[in-house]
Every structure is written in C-alpha cells, then in structure tokens.
Structure 1
C-alpha cells in the first residue's frame, strides 16, 4: 500500500522529471510557408506541394494577390475554397505597399475573404496611423515588413521598424524578414531580439551575402538561422514562422529541405 509519505516523494520526483523533460510538440515554434516561395506554380500545384509537406498554415504572398496587382474578390474566394479543402489555413495576407485609404479598405476585405487575421506590408507614417485605426476596428493585426532594396528603403533596420510603430496600438506589429535584415547588413538575432515587443510574424529566409538578394537554403547563408530560432524559442514566440525561398524555377525539392530544416530547429 502506498503511504502518504511515499506518495509525496513520488509526486515531487514526478514534478522534477517533468521540469527536466524536453519541450513537447505544442511548445514547438509554428512553422508554415510564405507562398511567394511557390510563385512559379499555379495555386493548385502549390497546394499539392503544401499538402505533401503537411503545411497547415501559410501567409498568402503571391504577387497576383498583392494590392499592386489590383486583384478581384473572386480570386480570394476561390483560393479560400481550395485551401479549406486541403486543410490549410491562411493566417496572414501579404498586401505589400499601401499607398492610400482605398488600399486599406481593399486589404481588409481581401484578408477577411482569405480568413486571415493579420496583414503584412509597408506604408508611410500617415497611412500606418490610418491602418492602426481601421484594423483595430476590424479586429485584425498588422505586421510592418522590413525590406532590402538596392536603394534606401524606409524600413531596413529594427530601429526603423520600431520608430515607425512608436506610439501606435498593439494592433501594429512587425513582420521580421531575416533574409532582408541580413542583406541590409544587420545582425538577425539582434533584430529579432529588439523586435520582441512588437513581433507578429517571421519570414524565415537565408541570404548568400550582404548587399544582395541571392537566397540560399536555410543554414547555408549569413542570416544565422539556428541562432534566430534559438532566440524565438527564448521568446516563446507563438506566431507563424513562415519559410520563404525566393528563387526562380523548380523549388519543390529545395522547399522540402527548407521546411525539414526549419522543423528540426522548431522542436
């Protein structure tokens, strides 16, 4: 018969063992895909690849869906139906650059048609303020996207992003692109650490060298991907870590390696 004292010792031992045990699956980082990775495929063929990889969450970032392409509502409705049938959830809509109030109205409608709760993009200060107001009303969130261009861009450093979001509500956050931070010459781990209070989403991408946009497989470039993932673990980051691979041609096998690599680091 188990005495009260023996039971107490067993309970303490159990607690110690639990604390020492490795993180369980539900403590893992949430790995998904930024769909620009499959810009060379049709939506149907992209979904085939996503299903093969068992991807369950995405950011819709294909060019034909961005504001600059002036898409019609039917495109989003059809995509949502296909994603639903495949068991894939679109958690974020990449709208790209917002230029005016109409862009905000359109992006809100498009995000809702996809079932997304977050919108990623960039905008001038006055438009960001409008986004804060409108998205708060709509119950959506926003991720300001850093980017590398050969010319000077408004949001290249983590400080650029944080300064732009200063004074705004919790609706407004950051979508951190590790590849673009590395291209611009910033330490990716430092950037992710600084953005922690505003971090909404991560575009997980590796780059060959500073000052360029040549994508390489995760872990083979200068973006310090393993260290970035360690920092996200430290933060207990619960948002989507979307694998992005910007390359022309057939990327299917590359994406298998990308997602496999990310998932190992996510545990």
Structure 2
C-alpha cells in the first residue's frame, strides 16, 4: 500500500513570511537559520510536525534544511527521532542535495540510518564524480538514492545520467511538476521510468503567467498549485501507478513563493487517495470481489478497514459488534456496508463469503465455531483459541466442512520478514542453530482503555504469538518447550483510575526446540517498554547472524554479519518495496486471493493451532519448570511468490 507523505519543503518560504523573491536558496538559508539552533530545535521541529499531522498526513519527506546532515548533532537527531515517534510520523525520504564529497554523502546516510529513512531523493555530485563510492556507501548503509529530474528535460536525459547498472540502489525520484515545466507528459515519463522508480514527488504547476512577477520560480514556469488545478496530468499519473506495480511513497509537493500551501495540500490529500483507489480498481484482477463481514469493531478493526480499502478484490459489506453503536460508527467511518444486529444475522446473509473475527480472545472459539457451522470461511485475529484442544477442533471442523480457516498473526508475510527468510533459506548465515526473539510490550494500561483481557491471556498469547508464528513458519514445527516466568507487577490501574489484578504471568521466557534443529529463546512481558535496547529477532548460524529490528513491521530494517566481518553489520534492502508498518489486513487479502485462485491459503489454521499448543505448553512449564514435548504439526509454510 502506497504511503502518501508531506514534504516539509512545502514550507520553504515560511520563514520569509511567504515572500521568497530571491529563489530557493533564500528559503533554504532562512529555514536552516531557524531550525539549526539546538536550544530551540525541539519546539520548532515539533511545531512543524504538529501542523503536518493536523492536515491529515501520517508521513513526511524530511527536507535537508530542517535537519541538515552538515549541522545536525546527535542531540538534534535524537530529538527528531523522539518527536517523530510521538507524532507517529514516518519519514519516507530525505529530500535535498547531498553534497559534493563522499564524507558529506556519508553524513547524510548516517542521518538516514539513525531516523530509519529508506530513500535519499534529490541530487548529488557523486553520481558523476565518484559513482563507485556512492554505490558502495548506499549498500553499506542499506539505502536507496533517487535522482530528481531537474534540470533533465525528459526521461532519456535522466536515464543517461543515471547510467546502467546499480538499479538496486540508484534510481529516480520523479517530480511531476518539473516535467510539467519542461512541457513533457508526466504520464509518458512514468511509463519510461517505471523500472527505475524509487520515489515520487507529486506536484502540479500552473501555466506560465503572461507577465513577469518578480518571483523566480513563477517566472520560470514552475509555479506550484493545488493538485488538479494546473497543467500536469496528475490524476492520470496517479491512476496509472497500481497497474505499473509501484508500491513506494507518493509525496505531495506544493511550494508557493508567495502563499501558505497548507489548505491546498489538505484538499489534495483526499484527491490522491481517491485516484489511487480508482487505479487499484482498474488494475484489480477480473472477477467479483470476495465479500467480508467484520465481527468485532474494537481497536484493531480500523486498521483492517483501512488496509482492505486499498484492495478492490475484497469488499466489506457489513459489521457487527455487541455494542450496536460501535458497529454503526465503524460502518459510517469506513463506508463498510450495513450494520448486522447479531452474529446470527451475519451468518444468515448469503452475501457474506468470509467472516473476519476481531472479537476479544475469549470469544474466538465460539465465534469461529458458529461461523464454520454456518458455512462461512473465517479469518480470525490471534489466537484462534487459548487451548490447543479447542484450536484443533476448529481446524478439524473447517476440514470437515471444506471451509477455509485463516488466522493472524500474518506478519511473517511482510516484505522484510519474507526477505530475511529467503536469505536464511539461501544459506547466507549457514545452517541456523539459535534464534532470539524479544517481545517487550510495555504496560497495556497506559494506552488501552480495557487492558484486563490482555493480562488475563498474558503476553505469550497476546504478543509472543507474533515471533512464534514467524519462527515456526521459517523453521517448521516445534517439538519441545521449556519455560520460566512469573508475576512481575500483578496489581495495576487503568487509564481512568480503576485498579485491577490478574494471575497470568506477565513475564515469560521460553526455550523452544524445533524439529529442524534450531533452538529459540523467546522472552515476552507486559512490563518492559519499547525503549529497551533488546528488541526484534536474531537468527544465528554457522557462518554468521541475521537480524530483524522488528518481527512485526513490514519495513523493518534487516541486517546481517558474517563471522569474517568482525563487528561490521551489513544492512539488507527488502526484495520488494515494503508496506510501512504492519498491514494487519494482509491475512484477509491473502485469503481472498487464495479463494479467487483456488489454491491453499498461507495463514493456515493448522499452523495457528500448533502455535497455540506451543504457548499452552509454555504456560504449563511455568507451573513446574519441567520441559514438555509437543504433539502437533502442520504443513510447511509457503513463501510468497516474489520471495521464493
């Protein structure tokens, strides 16, 4: 799913009172003077981020003038990282000019690595001056450079400057506005440049004014405007992207020299979202969409609805919740069909192909059972059950009814996770022997309005299920479990001041032996926050190690270190442009594709049941510390097609 971002360069004229009469350099200098002092940086940077989120954006392109690699100290970068996290903003690219020397370019790359920015978009003299050094540096840091089409007038000139080869790390940041200024069709440019496309700056420009204005860009014929109000075919451009397979970010760019661009950008955002939806509809495989009903409209339901809205081959036709008002709010917000009064009403609707079960943990078995008995395919949030016997009964029922039972977590289907799995299968680190997974999930009561159900099932069932599902997808069934743990902090208080207690261990450490031969240590708790230095997943083999910073985020950094490398870590780019964060709806999408293609779905119920047995056995081991054998198995997990 494409991330739509806001470039902070849209504010280029802001420090000049939106009267930038001496060109881009004037705005750049004023912005750097405003943002570089460390004592005021936090307040000024946060104010800017707040204005971006107020416009409805969840991602930015960070312009170099707002955090320049030549003056940014570790303190600047730490502040920026903290504020971006607090605002829940991702940075899709670092935009600007990246110096004339290799040390300058390396400084820009270090800043990108520190802020988890995947793309540098703009210009660098090194492309012609020291291409080998540029390529080596990009690969060292695990980054991509996209050359912007300015001053190049057409795709042929741009491709000639890019040169052949190194397409994994060098490509194009396509600026639609500059092609408009050069009177070259941006849609034609997109078709020509699609194989090298790394990033998009979506910009519209007005027709040149008949008289000079005294504003350099306007007089050059590069006067930006609201999308759709100028001469660039931005609507056709965006609608074409899905059919070309472009999955990267789309940055909205509008940098008037004499006006505040915020209202225009806010109005442009829903236009781009609608154009993308229309493009996906046109590019969708032929056939009727798989029709789904959502059961349970709690916190996670919004993420599912947003994800599924990007896929025309899946259609939400209704929702049901024990609280009818919550179901109505869900349907209204996401244009999700009708409200069903009861689960029976959902199951009686012949239009429903798949029920997506998003109810609380303890309702899963009953809801899944009733859906299967009514003849509906099911995708369920994790866990499908809290007892292995119940989970296996669900699998058996689905088999007997010739129905599909799909289950979360599906994070092992993410781009970073699939890329890492392929590297392991391809022997990058030799035979894998040991894995470490850290699940430090913090204190649920600090953010969730109803934390008690999470504590009742415990961190193993609620969150360790993610890396356990990934590890068993990669390495097959487990056969033996040992565990230790206990109650760390059993008396807590909700956000509204209500005390509560629980008896399920809130800290657990499991040692899991896989039939494959791998041994994994999985630690999970509802106490240690994400600020810990222990996080993610590591796999250690005879020739080295491979790590994912996150077992859940599809765009997680990946890196490896071979024995001969010493302390050096080598980043790895995902084999496919990743979806930002976690696409929770991917399991439903994968199930829908499997139904349409008449093939087995990947997130199998039998796999989910095996993970339930692992966790149930962990809890049994916690009572006496004795190891236990596992009895269940499941068919091998299948990589996605592009990662085979």
The answer to whether 1:88 aligns with 2:81 is: no
**Residue pairs, 1:36-55, within 5 angstroms:** 36-39=9-12, 40=14, 42-55=44-57
Q: Distance in 2 between matches of 1:64 and 1:50?
A: 14
Match of 1:130 among 127, 130, 133: 133
Q: Shift of the alpha carbon at 1:44?
A: 2.1
Structure 1 residue aligned with 2:263, among 243, 249, 253? 253
Larger radius of gyration: 2
- When structure 1 is superposed on structure 2, of 44-53 and 181-190 the one drifting more is 44-53
Distance 1:146 1:223 in 2: 15
Listed one character per residue, the Cα deviations across residues 62-83 of structure 1 (whole Å, up to 9, x for unaligned) are 523345x644443332222111
Q: Within 5 A, what are the aligned runs for 1:90-109?
A: 90-109=91-110
Cα distance, 1:134 vs structure 2: 1.0
CA distance in 1, matches of 2:67, 2:178: 21
CA–CA distance in structure 1, aligned partners of residues 60 and 131 of structure 2 = 24
Structure 2 partner of 1:34: 7
3-state secondary structure, aligned to 1:195: helix
2:242 equivalent in structure 1: 233
1:209/1:73 CA distance change after superposition, 3 Å:
farther
> Equivalents in 2 of 1:258, 1:43: separation in Å?
24
Range with bigger deviation, 243-252 or 193-202: 243-252
1:249 and 1:258, CA in 2 relative to 1: closer, same or farther beyond 3 A?
A: same
TM-score, normalised to structure 2, is 0.35
- Please, which of 213, 220, 228 is the counterpart of residue 219 of structure 1? 228
**Partner secondary structure for residue 218 of structure 1:** coil
Once the two structures are superposed, residues 133-166 of structure 1 have per-residue CA deviations (whole angstroms, 9 ceiling, x without a partner) of 210122111111112xxxxx3x332222211222
For residue 189 of structure 1, the aligned residue among 187, 190, 199 is: 187
Aligned length: 233
- CA distance in 2 between counterparts of 1:70 and 1:183 reads 33
What does residue 22 of structure 1 align with? none
* Runs of at least 4 residues off by over 6 Å: none
Alpha-carbon RMSD across the aligned residues, in angstroms, is: 2.0
- In the alignment, what sits opposite 1:58? 60
Unaligned runs of 5+ in 1: 1-25, 148-152
Alignment of 1:96-175 (within 5 A): 96-124=97-125, 125-147=128-150, 153=151, 155-169=152-166, 170-175=168-173
- Cα distance in structure 1, aligned partners of 2:153 and 2:74: 32
Q: Tell me if the contact between 1:204 and 1:244 (Cα under 8 Å) persists in the aligned partners.
A: yes
- CA gap 1:31/1:245 in 2 versus in 1, 3 angstroms: same
Unaligned 5+ segments in structure 2 are 16-43, 209-219, 278-644
**Does the 8 Å contact 2:98/2:108 carry over to 1?**
no
- Displacement of 1:46 in angstroms is 2.2
Give 1:5-16 correspondences, 5 Å limit: none
Alignment partners' CA distance in 2, 1:78 and 1:163: 40
Question: Is the contact made by 1:132 and 1:168 (CA closer than 8 Å) also made in structure 2?
Answer: no
The structure carrying a bigger helix percent of its residues is 1
Contact residue 64 and residue 71 of structure 1 kept, 8 A: no
Task: Name the SS for the 2:260 alignment partner.
Answer: coil
Give deviations 1:101-150, integer Å, cap 9, x for gaps: 12211111111122101111213312344221210122111111112xxx
**Alignment partners' CA distance in 1, 2:224 and 2:131:** 29
**Whose relative contact order is higher, 1 or 2, with alpha carbons under 8 Å and at least 6 apart?**
1
**175 and 81 in structure 1: CA distance in 2 versus 1, 3 angstrom threshold:** same
